[in-house]
Structure 1
Amino acid sequence: MGRVSQAQAEENRSRVVDTASRLFREQGTQVSVADLMKAAGLTHGAFYKQFASKEALVDEATAHAFTRLAGHHAAGLEEHDGQRDATQRALIDTYLSVDHRDNPADGCPVAALATDIAREGGGSGARRVYTEGVSDFADFLANDDQDGIARLCTLFGALVLSRATKGSPLSEKILTTAHAALTENG
């Protein structure tokens, strides 16, 4: 098989990063390189032409997930004509939904990657990116009435607990109770 063009190699790398970002959020960073590459439609050997290690991919996939999250926040602001309160309310509605609970691959990296990132070494690139992403998300959630960190902790905790109790009535009760707590003041 011949060499791929530089453009094709870049496209392949992008596909691997996007696939890894989704799989890591859905299944955790323990997903094997072989399974990841199969999901991306590429060979296992192609991985090592693109990445120095799996850890390097975890770093890049984490950054990709947080870049997408920031893009969603910017799009929300644009959709709501720059009205931060309306954007935050829409985010809370979406974040604390059954759809978000049931689709971690397309969801928030804060909740989906927390356990795996906690196991990373203190100097890992993924941990640095995660920490910056959490800080940025908390800043985005801050308003005159509520601290962004408290709001993020409520969102995060509710989502994680609702995923862990999925299939029971408690799961949806967690989502609706957290939603009410975050939105009762407007």
Structure 2
Amino acid sequence: MKRSTSRSKQATHDRIVDAAARAIRRSGYNGTGVAEIMKDAGLTHGGFYAHFDSREAMLAEAADRAGGESVAMMQEIAARLPPNQALAAMMRAYLSEEHFEAVETGCATAALCSEMPRQAPEVRRVATRRIKEMIDLVSRQFPDWGQPEAHERALVTIATMVGSLALARAVDDSRLSSALREAALKHLSPTDS
């Protein structure tokens, strides 16, 4: 009986974290309230503290979940292709129209980077870890992986991808939005693939 209760509590916890991960990408950290998240998860506000010590603890788990989903998407692409093709495929997927439109399920870094400096340390810590994972994944696609130059190119690649997606979502001009993503993709495309 305890095992069933424990599984049920974990499933409920996961539902809350999933709802929070979508909500922070949709509305930002400050635009996301506990009551809204609990309602989206199909629960009452009163049950929140049975799962989290604080709003910040929930936001940290949501940031981790959202960041993990972004990393997993890129890892799946890298696993299917050889390194000399994987990086270009990751960039195309990241800067695609589908990813651009998928704010609630897309890259948490692009959706939330401007808010990150004002978040609690535990939220920033998990977001930083996920960003480092993205940088490392991109770095591993370069032929000189492990060298400082590959790491530096990975930093620039991630910064350009995230920045381009964030800017593309910020503007109200669809042609400019597409041009931002296309220009980033053109200038980031590896020449040695």
| Same fold, TM-score > 0.5, yes or no | yes
Measured after TM superposition, the shift of residue 168 of structure 1 is 3.3
Measured after TM superposition, the shift of residue 184 of structure 1 is 5.6
Unaligned runs of 5+ in 1: none
Measured after TM superposition, the shift of residue 170 of structure 1 is 0.8
Q: TM-score, normalised by structure 2?
A: 0.85
Q: Who is 1:168 aligned against?
A: 174
Q: Who is 2:128 aligned against?
A: 131
Measured after TM superposition, the shift of residue 29 of structure 1 is 1.2
Cα 1:85/1:22, change in 2 over 3 Å: farther
* Residue 85 (structure 2) pairs with residue 86 (structure 1): yes
Measured after TM superposition, the shift of residue 110 of structure 1 is 1.6
Given that 2:66 and 2:105 are in contact with CA atoms closer than 8 Å, whether structure 1 keeps it comes out as: no
Which 4+ runs in 1 deviate beyond 6 A? none
Measured after TM superposition, the shift of residue 19 of structure 1 is 1.1
Q: Which amino acid aligns with 1:64?
A: R
Q: C-alpha deviations, 1:135-164, integer Å up to 9, x for none? A: 221121122486100001110111011001
Q: Percent identity between the aligned chains?
A: 30
Q: Which amino acid aligns with 2:96?
A: S
C-alpha distance in structure 2 between counterparts of 1:174 and 1:111, whole Å: 14
Measured after TM superposition, the shift of residue 78 of structure 1 is 2.4
Measured after TM superposition, the shift of residue 43 of structure 1 is 0.8
Superposition RMSD in Å = 1.8
Unaligned runs of 5+ in 2: none
Summarize the alignment of residues 23-172 of structure 1 with structure 2, pairs less than 5 Å apart: 23-30=23-30, 31-80=32-81, 83-121=82-120, 124-142=121-139, 143=142, 144=144, 147-172=153-178
Q: Who is 1:181 aligned against?
A: 187
